[in-house]
Amino acid sequence: MQKPFLIQRLQKPYKTESSIFKDDNAFSFGCGYKNGGLNPEVMKMLKPIFRFDYMGSAEFEFGALPKAFQKLLLHRVNNISSEITCTTQKGNTAQVYIICKKDDLAEIQSYLQAKANDEYMKNLHTKEHVGLQDVIDDSSRHRDVCGWIELDTCFMFFTDKDMFEKTKFLLGVR
């Protein structure tokens, strides 16, 4: 498996349609394609499940998301779901739910355990801050973040079971 590097953070969806944020955040993808290149129909399906956090790097723009979702859908017969308990340096634990290729599961579980324990380990360096450790430690830094998608290896992970279940159903993962 390729070393994870481009991990897009996913936030909780807006609670109501009457929110002042009725439309998607126009700045989620900087100056890249609208909706990160995802077509309006796909965005409509994803909107009640999660929204995309602004990552601050061009690598997350210009069609990176559609390519990742396309790979997830293309290889969905090889994708499985799983869950693990991750522990941080502070001793806090959380269930982390995973969608990935069956062959990559052990490596991804190991990676997530390490990332939850120490975001800043040199061999775990990613383009932008992931925040799994912060989320498990209940830090206010990433309060609405509870899901992630790795854009090159195309795996997803969540700390929110509802978001995980809805994504799993949408992607047709067992």
Cβ-contact 93, 85 below 8 angstroms? yes
The domain segmentation of the chain, as residue ranges, is 7-171
Backbone φ and ψ for 136, nearest 5 degrees, come out as: -65, -40
CA torsion 73-97-33-20 (nearest 10°) is 130
27 band by pLDDT with thresholds 50, 70 and 90: very low
pTM of the full predicted structure?
0.88
pLDDT of residue 12: 93
pLDDT digit string, tens, across residues 112-153: 999 999 999 888 999 999 999 999 999 877 779 999 999 999
pLDDT greater at residue 107 or residue 34: 107
